[in-house]
Structure 1
Amino acid sequence: MSDINLTALSLAELKKLEKDVGKAIANFEERQKAEARAEAEAVAKKFGFVLGDLVETSAAKKKTVPEAKYRHPENPLLTWRGRGRKPGWISEGLAAGKKLEDFAI
């Protein structure tokens, strides 16, 4: 590794050096990832698999949104999944003597 006299460099030269070092680090990390991916694919292939079959992707982890369980009796566009804070129209209906089952879909 070469010794660089940082105190002799101008601000512009220091910023360029910083930018170049950042790129070098990113390129190094990408090469390491590619090498690790190639090794992992080789091991998966050795056992008769494709790496994608063994690793969960973000699409596989995607959360499913539960369906609405309750609907406003007069405005069917207003729904509630039964999670979190009760919407005002549910609270008002319960205060008026209705039961939660009265709003069930």
Structure 2
Amino acid sequence: MAVDIKNLNHSQLTELIAKAQSRQNELRKDKVAKVREKINALLKAEGLGIDDVFGNRATKGRRATPGTPVAAKYRNPANPEQTWSGRGKRPNWFNDALKAGKKEKDLLA
């Protein structure tokens, strides 16, 4: 089925693109399902499980997730409740302490 896209207006092109992307996603999902079935059949035929082949991926090589708190590396001597992990932008209290002559090692928690 050939579509003459030169005769389509903007809204028709947008609709055609959306339908094509939707169909592309459906085809990809079908392909993934077929590959998954083949893998499971092969594993079953060999008497293996996914963990036997790939290991327990839930803990192996695990990285910290975004938003995971990091231990405080520096503490404000004037207000011990204020801490900084050493990552990201320096807090104002840290900069003020450095300007006042303190060294980074003096602020270690």
Shorter-chain TM range is 0.5 to 0.7
Instruction: Please tell me the root mean square deviation across aligned C-alpha atoms, in Å.
Output: 3.5
| Count of residues in Structure 1 that have an aligned counterpart in Structure 2 | 100
Distance change >3 Å, CA 42–CA 73, structure 1 → 2: farther
The AA in structure 1 aligned to 2:74 is Y
Distance change >3 Å, CA 93–CA 21, structure 1 → 2: closer
Fraction of identical pairs, as percent: 27
Distance change >3 Å, CA 95–CA 18, structure 1 → 2: closer
Counterpart in the other structure of 2:27: 28
Structure 1 length normalisation: TM-score?
A: 0.59
Gaps of 5+ in 1: none
Counterpart in the other structure of 1:40: 39
**Over 4 Å off, 4+ runs:** 9-19
Structure 2 length normalisation: TM-score?
A: 0.58
CA distance in 2, matches of 1:61, 1:99: 32
CA distance in 2, matches of 1:91, 1:23: 52
